[in-house]
Amino acid sequence: MSLLTAALTDPKVGSLLMEMVDTGKPLPMDKDRQLFELLVIATERFDNWRETAKDPVKVTSDFGHEFVYNPTMNYFGLSP
């Protein structure tokens, strides 16, 4: 799970990340807490999927980017 994947698949994460990039400053405390909670949720969803999925899953973001998650591959794309 990466921040980029979360930003591309969840519009709320994407907008908070872009606000941080646009301003070049840390988010205000309330938005920072919201971003943290959204990333925890995204990580938990990914972890739950990773533990239960058997086949590769293709995810297409709202922007048309495609990601293929394969639980049999490690971080570097190598089989265990």
Share of the chain above pLDDT 70, in %: 74
**Token duo for residue 24:** 């070049």
- Between CA 34 and CA 29 the distance in angstroms is 9
What is the tens place of the pLDDT at every residue in 15-52?
999 999 999 999 999 999 999 999 888 888 776 665 66
* Residue 69 and residue 56 in contact, taking contact as beta carbons nearer than 8 Å: yes
pLDDT, residue 46, reads 73
More confident residue, 15 or 9: 15
Q: How do the domains of the chain map onto residue ranges?
A: 3-69
Average pLDDT, the chain: 78
More confident residue, 31 or 10: 31
CB neighbour burial string for 27-53, b if at least 16 within 10 angstroms, e if fewer: beeeeeeebeebbeebeeebeeeeeee
pTM for the full model?
0.58
